Structure 1
Amino acid sequence: MRYRLDSLILSTPLLKGFRPLLYLIPWHYFPVKKFTRGERIRLALEELGPIYIKFGQTLSTRPDLLPTDISLELKKLQDSCPAFDTQSARSIIEQELGSSIDQLFKTFDDQPLASASIAQVHTATTLDGHEVVVKIVRPDIDTLIAGDIKLMRSLAKLVNNHPVAKKIRPIEIVEEFESIINDELDMRIEAGHCDKLRANFEDSGLLYIPKVYHRLSGIKVLTTERIYGTPIGEIETLKAKNIDMKRLAEEGVVIFFTQVFKHNFFHADMHPGNIFVSDKGRYIGVDFGIMGTLTEEDKDFLADIFLAFFNQNYQKVAQVYIDSGWIGAHTDEKAFEAAVKKICSPMFDKPLGEISFGQVLLDLIREAKNFDISVQPQLLLLDKTLLNIEGLGRQLYPQLDLWSTAKPFLEDLT
């Protein structure tokens, strides 16, 4: 009621037939505060609580389904909430690891370092003196999530038979969210992600991944090496430390393309809160709950799409989609090619180095949906990550030329 989502929801094509009901709702006659529609949705999700904040964050990774203004607003959702009590934190650790805190750690700070919807983090010292951070899953969070997912699934089924739902795919969205959040509840999965990414970059000076202390970890507890660095969003601090911003921006792009095209395993939650920079200018990554992988076919698709686009071969761009097998039986291929050209041609009005890879892919994905062409979920996850990396890179160094950095990776595949 406070943010008048009644009028916003009933204004969608999905619920067009229910619009007369607006006049039966008493608060329909109350004035609407001057918020944009994206702000109204974000503020409502924040008031609904941590699970709905998490759901909003998941929706923000699907700009193919949401209008741009709403998608951008949902990216502002901050996953933070009040800490749970110290006794509960200690109890979860002791039950999970089978020993008392004093037998597990030399020191344990009862004051949380951070607290979010799924878990909170405490600092500690191992018995042999190493500084660590201990991530603890919230008590009873699985029961709370199960109830919320059940409600979301019921709502998704309610609207699923509407013709507009074919594009939105509400049941698919809820299932995707359920899969993501259930993975985040099991700290063993994140520990495995951390180990794999650390091994992939072990001999590289580009990216440092903290060590996992497996003896001090389990389903509800993850203990990792404590790292120190400057949050990558603190640009003035980085400049004051004489970090080479051009090199930092370029190496961020190299790290991303190395993960995608060489390791086939990429950090899919690379927002500024999860990236730090050491005093020597080396990237440090944290929070490995959401990772992505691509099949060889997906990687070939990406490389072919980008190379064809930058060669302004729009027929080839359309043909790559057709050859992928994702195209609908009744799709007009010539019309799709014309639509691709209409989208892509104006982008070359700007210098090559200023063209956004992520925006190119997003625009193509959105247009493909208009022609009943399906797109693999992992490509959507990758595109969200690519948009983050591009935005961050150009924030660090506005003249960043992604094409020059990416071209060798793409040509190696083709």
Structure 2
Amino acid sequence: MKLLATRRLLRILRVVIRYRLDDLLLALPLPWPLRLLGALLPWRWLPRKPLALSRGERLRLALEDLGPIFIKFGQLLSTRRDLLPLDIADELARLQDQVPPFPPAQAIARIEQQLGAPVSQLFARFDEQPLASASVAQVHAAQLKSGEEVVVKVIRPGLKPIIRQDLAWLFLLARSAERLSADARRLRPLEVVEDYEKTIYDELDLLREAANASQLRRNFEASPLIYVPQIHWPLCRHKVLVMERIYGIPVTDLNALAAQRTDMKKLAERGVEIFFTQVFRDSFFHADMHPGNIFVSTRTPWEPQYIAIDCGIVGSLTAEDQDYLARNLLAFFKRDYRKVAQLHIDSGWVPAHTRVNEFEAAIRTVCEPIFERPLKDISFGQLLLRLFQTARRFNMEVQPQLVLLQKTLLNIEGLGRQLYPDLDLWSTAQPFLERWMRERISPLQLLRNLQNQAEQVPQLSQMARQTLDRLNHPQPAAPLRASWPGRLIGAALLLGAASQGLLLSMAAWPAWLMLGGGLWLLLRR
């Protein structure tokens, strides 16, 4: 094991020398003893041809040379645009998730070991030549005994020892960078590696991916917007996943999409609608929406439908994060920077002691130049990115779900503008957000929230349930027994409860009693 680790270290060192990554390290403001030590490295005294490559290109090529685990790390690193210089983040985003396939015999052996039967008994046909090969798994086409066409995803053999070794070196490099450089500490490399560790181990569990795909499919059952392939659960294990095979056009194949006369404007707008529906309606969003995971159905090009695969990485937001994010975005639309600053403080995204006026001025400085451009030329994702970067100056701690959200939004917006360059994401998103906010504070939704939170108060829960039944299944009008003064008192009680703003607090008994009494007076017959 030690020999393998040593060999791996020597390979990493060779790649560092080849792409001169030490130059990137020495460009940081290091203490002079370390700079002197770096200058004395033996290979720096050897003649070297100049490299006509940017620092981002050198880093990308080095990660590609180091293999699948480092490629995956580079992909994750490219999403941390709140931490990285943009030129490096843009270059890392070009990393392709294509690596040489492993031998079919190993794939078959793993399938049979996981499912406990020969491939010939499990499938009517199994194609040994893989359809695609990625950093942690590869995919084979097959046919079930029932005649259904499927794909079989298999985790690469022998990954865990390599992952453990590479993670150990990554943690060592991250800790060293944080100790040596204040600039590196600002980039928080240790946190980035920890995020990667969780992500890579999650992706090794295909049952998790299958569960995510099933949830996403259920959320968009019979939807014209997006289709998610069916999971064949009896044939799924931790290292093997079997799902319905889909046939579609890769979303980046613009010529094929044009040939079938796809409505590109509608396709781009539907991508935006899918994103906001996942984030705000479901609080469950596909967070790996790079072009390799998205296809377009060939069935109804005039009403284009997306097809999504590879649900290994998903994100979610709490109800509080949803609410504050929507309010932030709507405040941006109205250039209400004071409200944006206050919402960040109220949500806990920046410390409570932050001075609102200073934070407001910083946000205005970033946003005003953007708003001077036509709406269709404004990058929604870049605006969110700049907001995070500005907030970081005020000690904002970017939460993992917000990083995934930012990454996904950047992917969706970039894809949408590739499909339809005149896409105005702002005008597409604003009506959705406004409608969602209206629905969130509608009387019907408030009653649903009340029912969900009042289980500890049986009478109030029953009253809310009866009210919901009446609203959902209205009965023919009957003579009201409540007098008009009673109805007015009931309305006043409701207004009083609402004005207290205490509906979500179980300890706020006056508001609960006012609400219950008001509903009873208004709705009794």
TM-score range (shorter-chain normalised) is over 0.9
1:138 corresponds to which letter in structure 2?
R
Residue in 2 aligned with 1:70? 88
8 Å CA contact 1:10, 1:16 repeated in 2:
no
Residue in 2 aligned with 1:24? 40
Deviation at 1:328, TM superposition (A): 3.1
SS for the counterpart of 2:100 is: coil
- Spell out the pairing of 1:228-243 with structure 2 (5 A cutoff): 228-243=247-262
Residue in 2 aligned with 1:152? 170
Q: Are 1:227 and 2:263 counterparts?
A: no
Residue in 1 aligned with 2:197? 178
Pair 1:16–1:114, CA change in 2 (3 A)? farther
Number of paired residues? 414
SS for the counterpart of 2:124 is: strand
SS for the counterpart of 1:76 is: coil
Residue in 2 aligned with 1:300? 323
How big is each residue's C-alpha offset from its partner over 1:313-337, in whole Å with a ceiling of 9 and x where there is no partner?
1111111111111323664443222
Deviation at 1:14, TM superposition (A): 5.6
Residue in 2 aligned with 1:337? 360
Within 1, Cα distance between the matches of 2:366 and 2:80?
Answer: 19
Question: Pick from 437, 461, 477: which aligns with 1:413?
Answer: 437
Deviation at 1:165, TM superposition (A): 4.4
1:380 corresponds to which letter in structure 2?
V
8 Å CA contact 1:120, 1:136 repeated in 2:
yes
- Spell out the pairing of 1:7-406 with structure 2 (5 A cutoff): 7-13=23-29, 18-29=34-45, 30-161=48-179, 162-279=181-298, 280=300, 281-328=304-351, 331-406=354-429
Within 2, Cα distance between the matches of 1:9 and 1:331?
Answer: 34
8 Å CA contact 1:261, 1:409 repeated in 2:
no
> Alignment identity in percent?
56
How big is each residue's C-alpha offset from its partner over 1:75-102, in whole Å with a ceiling of 9 and x where there is no partner?
1111221111111111100110111111
How big is each residue's C-alpha offset from its partner over 1:161-185, in whole Å with a ceiling of 9 and x where there is no partner?
4544442222211110011011100
Within 2, Cα distance between the matches of 1:395 and 1:138?
Answer: 33
TM-score (norm 1): 0.96
Within 1, Cα distance between the matches of 2:307 and 2:351?
Answer: 43
Within 2, Cα distance between the matches of 1:257 and 1:61?
Answer: 19
Pair 1:164–1:331, CA change in 2 (3 A)? farther
Within 2, Cα distance between the matches of 1:76 and 1:15?
Answer: 33
TM-score (norm 2): 0.76
2:23 corresponds to which letter in structure 1?
S
Within 1, Cα distance between the matches of 2:233 and 2:190?
Answer: 36
Q: Please identify, of 392-401 and 54-63, the stretch whose mean Cα deviation from structure 2 is larger.
A: 392-401
Within 2, Cα distance between the matches of 1:373 and 1:207?
Answer: 35
8 Å CA contact 1:42, 1:56 repeated in 2:
yes
Within 1, Cα distance between the matches of 2:371 and 2:288?
Answer: 30
Pair 1:16–1:79, CA change in 2 (3 A)? farther
Unaligned runs of 5+ in 1: none
8 Å CA contact 1:14, 1:159 repeated in 2:
no
Residue in 1 aligned with 2:450? none
How big is each residue's C-alpha offset from its partner over 1:301-360, in whole Å with a ceiling of 9 and x where there is no partner?
211111111101111111111111132366444322211110000011112233222111
How big is each residue's C-alpha offset from its partner over 1:263-293, in whole Å with a ceiling of 9 and x where there is no partner?
1100111111111111122111111111111
2:108 corresponds to which letter in structure 1?
R
If asked which structure has higher relative contact order (CA below 8 Å, sep 6+), I would say: 1
1:221 corresponds to which letter in structure 2?
V
SS for the counterpart of 2:135 is: coil
8 Å CA contact 1:230, 1:276 repeated in 2:
yes
Within 1, Cα distance between the matches of 2:277 and 2:23?
Answer: 46
1:12 corresponds to which letter in structure 2?
L
Within 1, Cα distance between the matches of 2:369 and 2:33?
Answer: 38
Q: State which structure, 1 or 2, has the greater radius of gyration over its C-alpha atoms.
A: 2
8 Å CA contact 1:331, 1:372 repeated in 2:
no
SS for the counterpart of 1:124 is: strand
Pair 1:272–1:374, CA change in 2 (3 A)? same
Q: Please identify, of 221-230 and 390-399, the stretch whose mean Cα deviation from structure 2 is larger.
A: 390-399
SS for the counterpart of 1:133 is: strand
